[in-house]
Amino acid sequence: MQLKFLLLLCTICFFSDLSAQSKFDNWLNPVIDSSYVDNYYKDLIVRLYWSQKYSTQTIGDNGEKLKLLYQPSNGYAVGAGFTYKFITINLGMIFPFAKPDPDRFGKSKSLDLQAHFYLKRFYVDFFTGYYKGQYLKNTRELFLGSLPEDSYYIRNDLRTYSVGMGVFTNFNPKKFRFEAPFLQNMKQRKSAGAPTAGCEVYWVGSRADSTFVPANMTDKYFFDGKDFNRWEILTFNITAGYAYNFVILKDFFLFLSMNGSLGIGYNHLYQTNSDKLNRISSNRGISNRVGVGYQKDRIFIGASWIGYHLFSPTSIPKTYLDWNAGVLRLNIAYRFTLKKEIHIFAKQQK
């Protein structure tokens, strides 16, 4: 009797597990509603693009109502790329005419990689960047005419580095997709939106050969008069937000997405006298996506912006560190239907 009962219990558990696994697979791999979204997953998307990546740091003091806004003298890139199934490759270069005047803004060197993966129910962001050589964008506010007109305070020694990753859930994947503005391999037929939620991790920092605070700055009480030449932030944040794609006259669209985040982490200020100021704090951030364009038949013309913003208070009262990064892009794309499907792996996405 006990053996029969045990066999019955095992059978129930087995089929229950199969049912739960089937439900999870269906949740993880939703079928797109073709009345809301056209799926061109198996078509080849070829594009020309113009883009500009950026990374800025703000060192602010609310008590003194002043801030240092440093940023690289970025140029813009012109390039080409393609998307087929889950593979997207873009190659571009910055031409000499696309670089800012080095006499005014200094020279910047950079290595910047941003990758965005759009899965059936999730999307993943990964970014890493290194920028050397920056200028003080708000020079005019701080030096009060002590520099020649139309010139900027330049720091060729200043370096910023960042690594981050975010994973987000799309809660309406059957009727709303992120791919159209950014990969052009889908088209939103009807207006739709979705709540989003996820998590992010950031490690961001900057360092210089000498203090960030200019020696001839008019306010001597900025950051309590402390001189520091390095800062770092490490934080883990939980995010929530909403995204919506407005379809206008069938072929025009306006895509808006915002995720707010709140988390816990630490920041360090490294003073020039070798002392270190540490703080464990609640950090907050915002990640945005915006797209606008025209998509009809096989042609796509549009612009997009993906941006990240992280804010962290320091151990000095009323002061903060603020980091921004992102990419602006203009795409012109054309969709080709292949005569024969290219099998990348044995099992293909439906």
Average pLDDT along the chain: 87
- pLDDT tens digits for range 206-218: 999 999 988 777 6
Beta-bridge partner residues of 132: 109, 159
Q: What is the pLDDT of residue 343?
A: 75
Quickly state the pLDDT bin for 22 (edges 50, 70, 90): low
Q: For the whole model, what pTM was predicted? A: 0.85
Which residue type occupies 243?
A
**What length is written for the chain?**
350
Q: What is the pLDDT of residue 144?
A: 55
Handedness of CA 305, 234, 269, 314 (dihedral sign): positive
Q: What is the pLDDT of residue 150?
A: 74
Q: Using CA atoms of 26, 30, 33, 37 in order, give the dihedral in degrees to the nearest 10.
A: -170
Structure tokens at 171: 């809660």
Run of H or E including 302:
strand 299-313
Question: Rounded to whole angstroms, how far apart are CA atoms 48 and 340?
Answer: 24
- pLDDT tens digits for range 331-349: 999 999 988 887 776 554 4
Neighbours of 88 (CB within 10 A): 20
Cβ–Cβ under 8 Å, residues 169 and 197: yes
Question: Rounded to whole angstroms, how far apart are CA atoms 88 and 256?
Answer: 22
Question: Rounded to whole angstroms, how far apart are CA atoms 176 and 190?
Answer: 9
Quickly state the pLDDT bin for 15 (edges 50, 70, 90): very low
Q: From start to end of 224-275, where are the E strands? A: 228-248, 252-271
Q: What is the pLDDT of residue 28?
A: 72
- pLDDT tens digits for range 238-264: 999 999 999 999 999 999 999 999 999
Q: From start to end of 85-213, where are the E strands? A: 87-93, 109-118, 122-136, 154-170, 186-188, 192-207
- pLDDT tens digits for range 64-97: 888 999 999 988 899 999 999 888 888 888 887 7
pLDDT at 142 over 80: no
Q: What is the pLDDT of residue 141?
A: 79
Beta-bridge partner residues of 34: none
With CA atoms as reference, report the closest residue to 196 among 245, 236, 239, 165: 239
Domains in the chain, start-ordered, CATH in brackets?
54-336 (2.40.128)
- pLDDT tens digits for range 288-302: 999 999 999 999 999
Question: Rounded to whole angstroms, how far apart are CA atoms 42 and 31?
Answer: 15
